[in-house]
Amino acid sequence: MSRYTSATETDRQEMLAAIGVESIDDLFADVPEGVRLGRPLDIAPGKPEQEVFARLRDLAAKNVSAEDEISFLGAGMYDHYVPALIDSILSRSEFLTPYTPYQPEISQGGLQVMFEYQTAISELTGLPVSNASVYEGPSAVAAAGWLAHTHTKKTKFLVSESLHPHSLETLATTSAGWGTTIEMLPVVNGLTQLDEVVGDDVAAIFVGQPNFHGAIEDIAALSQFKGSALLVVQADPLTLGVLRSPGEDGVDICVGEGQTLGNRLDFGGPSFGFFAASQALLRRMPGRIAGETTDVDGRRGFVLTLQTREQHIRREKATSNICTAQALNALAGVIYLSWLGREGLVELGELLVSRTHYARETLAAIDGVELWHDQPVVREFALKLSKNAHEVVEFCSARGVNPGFAFDDNGLLVAITEQRSKADIDRLAEVLKEALA
């Protein structure tokens, strides 16, 4: 008997009718025309495998990665060094192949990984509880919105104009069915403005730390005006070695993108999102939580706690549909943090501050370049250019330097990692000066 029986045309038509569309093309209606091929692959039929492979290899060679150019591109995903031991551990079959455990206590090793990860995130954010990760940063922000709405029973979100735009889009999309509204908080000279206690109708306040334009927000000051609303901070985890932890500043929920912790760029994914919160919000947190216990003989062991929140136990009352939750990527995160250690995290943060300061001062001295704001930064900063930023990026990229992310017609966001040397920064200044001449 065949191990695979393909769907017939009749099967396909019945499935399409069941979901209310007429053709397979209708399933891709939301994909922009500009990114669709719109024709069959330009490969002649009947070609031998080795010729097809050679053709696809040549096409793939047209891609440019961070290893092919000097990249200052950031805006949420960063070209950090990933130590070799991460792949060495991740590729072990015990970690690489398991699916989510529905009889979890059998998987003590997997549960311990979750527990150690949660501990690391709690220590990093200064908040007492963490889950065992979610999909990625923007969906973590959206999950925080759902938690705030269900916890406070209120329907308004206040969102900083300098929150990452992907996070804002995700929050707006997922909360559309909750009956919530979004009101934007203005940003002046890089900082979110909140000068009075928010009203009783506000469920949560959302802000980035550092924010999308690289500025370090005064989280403690914002916390003073949050009233009964929850304060949600989307944090860059690698900056927390040199910045005060969100928990110290009165933050209720800290979420963020985990890609910088031992995960490569990988053309945009996959990565993982982290989610930490105050003790009072524990039972409404999304995703899995591993707990530590002892068995009947008094030996240390691990369990999945509060499983009734999960979609495989009580689907209609689940706090999220998180299941595997990018667990392998989260494992890379805790390995990376263990590799760095407490002192290493601080040293890396100080290195980023030093090189970012040099880059900011060097680039701001170029004719045609101004600072977007003059607030302190850690590893990313925004510039205002005298020429179209998209054209500047194209000009520099043709010379082997990706100068950053053009977030506005004249706005350029420049990111620094430990992979960018002083010589790389000087090279960026050279081509940027040429582009603006």
The per-residue pLDDT string of the chain (437 residues; one tens digit each, 9 = 90 and over) reads 456 678 899 999 999 999 999 999 899 988 998 988 888 888 888 999 999 999 999 999 998 888 889 999 999 999 999 999 999 999 998 888 877 666 777 788 888 999 999 999 999 999 999 999 899 999 999 999 999 999 999 999 999 999 999 999 999 999 888 889 999 999 999 999 998 889 899 999 999 999 999 999 999 999 999 999 999 999 999 999 999 999 999 999 999 999 999 999 988 889 999 999 999 999 899 888 899 999 889 999 998 887 756 656 666 777 776 666 788 999 999 999 999 999 999 999 999 999 999 999 999 999 999 999 999 999 999 999 999 999 999 999 999 999 999 999 999 999 999 999 999 999 999 999 999 99
Please state the domain extents for the chain: 70-82+342-436, 84-335
Q: Looking at residue 320, what DSSP letter applies?
A: B
**Strand partners for 402:** 71
User: Measuring CA to CA, which residue among 378, 379, 359, 377 is closest to residue 369?
Assistant: 359
According to DSSP, the β-strands at 202-209 and 230-235 are: parallel
Give the per-residue pLDDT at 314: 67
pTM: predicted TM-score of the whole model, two decimal places: 0.89
Class of domain 84-335: alpha beta
Give the per-residue pLDDT at 306: 78
Give the per-residue pLDDT at 1: 47
Q: Report the distance separating Cα 416 and Cα 352, nearest Å.
A: 7
Secondary structure class of 417 (helix, strand, coil): coil
**Sign of the four-CA dihedral 23, 24, 28, 32:** negative
CATH number of 70-82+342-436: 3.90.1150.10
Give the per-residue pLDDT at 104: 72
**Which tokens belong to 14?**
């019945």
Please, is 10 exposed, middle or buried when counting C-beta atoms within 10 Å of its C-beta (0-12, 13-18, 19+)? exposed
Q: Strands (DSSP E) along 13-132, which ranges? A: 70-71, 129-130
Please, is 19 exposed, middle or buried when counting C-beta atoms within 10 Å of its C-beta (0-12, 13-18, 19+)? exposed
The kind and range of the H/E element at 120 are helix 108-125
Tokens 């909750």 appear where? Answer: 178
Q: Report the distance separating Cα 394 and Cα 434, nearest Å.
A: 13
